[in-house]
């Protein structure tokens, strides 16, 4: 009997541990190792992990080419399960405000799980932050350099960025280069504008030497460690002069585009009104023509009847005579 009781107790103990074992298995962390990166993700995140893997494998060679890197060390990517885990892995970043964080010194990228086109831009953007350190060294760079290069290399300029930039130009809120760095510490709408402007600034720099892209600026930045001196050595212009040329280009492009975007709905509205007017005029003209034809046809019928009547009367008189 005692042996029987002992066996029952053992079975009960094992059964009581099953939920715990199942929970631990359900929360197991997995690791995917590729040539250029390692990806850490949890059970249940397989679809997102596959998407991140595809983006990283296709983006890293292109990002290295843009930045002028022949090779780079492996990068660790983490998919966080919760906002709290995201905060812990990033050292305190607010998960309600940012979806991804790069820690270049540790060669780590932490992501909140998501899918779609935004995931592609986010992964490429954060990877660029790490690769930029490989390219220029562990420098204290201005935010416009870090974020502008990351957005440019990742092709991360979406319709929302464009709309924010156009609105700022229209209302006179464009941020000049000398105040761009401070704008990254402002309210959310100002930060969004700073990111959009940083992209256009780096795009402008890359366009100065289309055959080389960003190579001259990054090369000088690595050599001297100061963005203003790097601009002067790479382009022969001071930071103030670069800022003036850049602002003129952006204003010319996006203010013109804004005017077109604002005028286009009016043009379409005018075309619709004109179409309706022409349609109504043609409709009225057809009605008038139709009534005229009906009247002429009716007059013709009366004329034929009168002619027949006169003909009948003449025949009657002839027979009578």
Domain hosting residue 157, numbered range:
139-262
Phi and psi torsions of 147, nearest 5°: -75, -35
Overall domain count for the chain: 2
Does residue 111 fall inside a structural domain? Answer: yes
Does residue 37 fall inside a structural domain? Answer: yes
Report the CATH number at residue 84.
3.40.30.160
**Beta-strand (E) ranges in the chain?**
29-33, 37-42, 75-79, 100-103, 108-111
Helix then strand then coil, in percent of the chain rounded to 5, is 70, 5, 20
Structure tokens belonging to residue 276 = 């309706």
- Give the pLDDT confidence of 282-306 residue by residue, as tens digits: 567 666 666 765 665 566 555 555 6
- Check residue 47 and give its pLDDT: 93
Does residue 160 fall inside a structural domain? Answer: yes
User: Are residues 128 and 203 located together in one domain of the fold?
Assistant: no
Does residue 190 fall inside a structural domain? Answer: yes
Does residue 318 fall inside a structural domain? Answer: no
- Run means of pLDDT, 10 residues per run, the chain, 321 residues: 49 45 63 96 95 95 93 94 95 92 96 81 96 94 96 93 94 95 95 97 95 94 96 96 96 69 44 51 63 62 58 52 52
CB 86 within 8 A of CB 93: yes
CA dihedral (13, 14, 16, 20) positive or negative: positive
- Check residue 313 and give its pLDDT: 57
User: Are residues 150 and 109 located together in one domain of the fold?
Assistant: no
Does residue 290 fall inside a structural domain? Answer: no
pTM of the model: 0.71
CB 186 within 8 A of CB 228: no
CB atoms within 10 A of CB 116: 9
């Amino acid at each position: 009997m005692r042996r029987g009781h002992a066996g029952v107790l053992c079975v009960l103990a094992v059964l009581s541990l099953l939920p715990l074992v199942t929970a631990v298995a359900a929360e197991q962390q997995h690791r995917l190792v590729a040539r250029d990166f390692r990806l850490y993700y949890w059970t249940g995140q397989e679809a997102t992990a596959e998407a991140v893997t595809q983006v990283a494998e296709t983006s890293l060679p292109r990002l290295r080419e843009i930045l002028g890197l022949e090779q780079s060390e492996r990068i660790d990517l983490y998919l966080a399960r919760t906002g709290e885990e995201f905060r812990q892995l990033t050292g305190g970043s607010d998960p309600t405000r940012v979806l991804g964080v790069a820690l270049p010194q540790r060669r780590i990228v932490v992501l909140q799980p998501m899918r779609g086109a935004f995931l592609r831009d986010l992964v490429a953007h954060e990877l660029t932050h790490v690769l930029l350190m490989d390219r220029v060294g562990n420098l204290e760079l201005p935010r416009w350099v870090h974020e502008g290069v990351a957005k440019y290399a990742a092709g991360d300029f979406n319709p929302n960025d464009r709309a924010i930039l156009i609105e700022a130009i229209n209302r006179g809120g464009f941020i000049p280069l000398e105040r761009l760095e401070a704008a990254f510490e402002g309210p959310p709408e100002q930060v969004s504008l700073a990111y959009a402007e940083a992209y256009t600034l780096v795009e402008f720099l890359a366009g100065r030497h289309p055959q080389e892209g960003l190579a001259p600026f990054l090369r000088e930045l690595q050599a001297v460690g100061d963005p203003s001196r790097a601009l002067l050595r790479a382009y022969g212009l001071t930071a103030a002069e670069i800022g003036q040329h850049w602002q003129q280009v952006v204003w010319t492009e996006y203010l013109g585009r804004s005017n077109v975007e604002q005028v286009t709905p009016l043009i379409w509205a005018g075309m619709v009104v004109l179409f309706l007017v022409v349609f109504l005029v043609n409709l009225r003209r057809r009605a008038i023509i139709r009534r005229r034809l009906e009247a002429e046809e009716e007059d013709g019928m009366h004329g034929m009847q009168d002619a027949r009547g006169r003909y009948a009367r003449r025949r009657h008189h002839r027979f009578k005579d």
